[in-house]
Amino acid sequence: MLLEDGEIPLPEAVPDWDYRMDLHLRRTVRVDVEQARSQSGLSAESDLMLSVVWTSRGSNLSGPAQQLRLADLETTTVTLDIRLPGTDLGGLLVLDTALLLADRQHSGRMSAPRRAGSVLWSDRRSLRLQGDAPQFPMAVIDFGRTSFPDNAAWHLQISGGMESATMGSLLLLVNERNAVTAAAFENAGRPRPVDRAVLSVVYADAARTMVEHALNTDDFTEDADFPEGSLGATLQALFDQLFPEQSVTDIRLRRHQSPSLFASDLQAAVRILEVPS
């Protein structure tokens, strides 16, 4: 994995990732072409191909990352250079690397693969792109051109049902007219003290909006089985993080009976304006 300050082995997770961070990945694969053909029962003239496909569980998107037809050598070393836009990603990123039959075959052993795209070898690696904080797409826009109040600093849009993909259900809109908030997100990679304070308040408000949306949905319970990467699963994870060992029913009741206490509990849970150690 390539970062601004150098190359590192692929980690299990990138906790500080957000949707504005594109991924640059590199992998070197050594292929014994002759042996691959022989063990697969293919003829010596069969063309092989290395392919990488990515799947993002958080966005429910996938696609080809790179395909390379291998040179007609006994052994070849290939460097796969992959760039993925952050706006397409989220949650668990799965990378499948496969050695494929490039073209349809009409010769070789009877047991040999025939169809183009037949998999001769494969390998899977995973990378988690969400830390403890909820992740969702964001955009900086002029609220003066929308139905939102001109002087509002941000707005979290939530759409779709609990089984909808989180990536398509959440969108944080930041008002470019609010210079302080817009600057905080611009500097999120290297935040100043004022940026940290603003981001903390935005996170607290986004968490409140998400929790209240969940509590207003009848089928949101701790026992509900929502698909991985769905809005419901994301809200469950956030709820468990903010209110560990507390039931959804108890929190619903507290919010109904004492909204001010619920608001204070939520402030404490998100550690609003807490200075990191």
**Across the strands, what pairs with 54?**
63, 95
pLDDT, tens digit, 9 for 90 and up, residues 76-107:
888 999 999 877 777 778 999 999 998 887 76
Is residue 49, in this structure, part of any structural domain at all? yes
> How high is the pLDDT of residue 211?
95
Say how many domains are in the chain: 2
Which residue do the tokens 């990515």 mark? 54
Residue 150: pLDDT over 90? yes
Is residue 277, in this structure, part of any structural domain at all? no
| Residue that terminates a domain, selected from 70, 100, 128 | 128
| Residue that terminates a domain, selected from 85, 103, 128 | 128
Burial group, residue 132, by CB count within 10 angstroms (0-12, 13-18, 19+)? exposed
| Residue that terminates a domain, selected from 106, 128, 150 | 128
Does 177 lie in the same domain as 77?
Answer: no
Burial group, residue 235, by CB count within 10 angstroms (0-12, 13-18, 19+)? buried
| Domain membership of residue 201 as a residue range | 138-270
Tokens of 211: 């929790």
**Residue 13 confidence class, pLDDT cut points 50, 70, 90:** confident
Q: For residues 114 and 176, which has the higher predicted lDDT (pLDDT)?
A: 176
Tokens of 27: 């992998």
- Provide the whole-model pTM: 0.58
Is residue 153, in this structure, part of any structural domain at all? yes
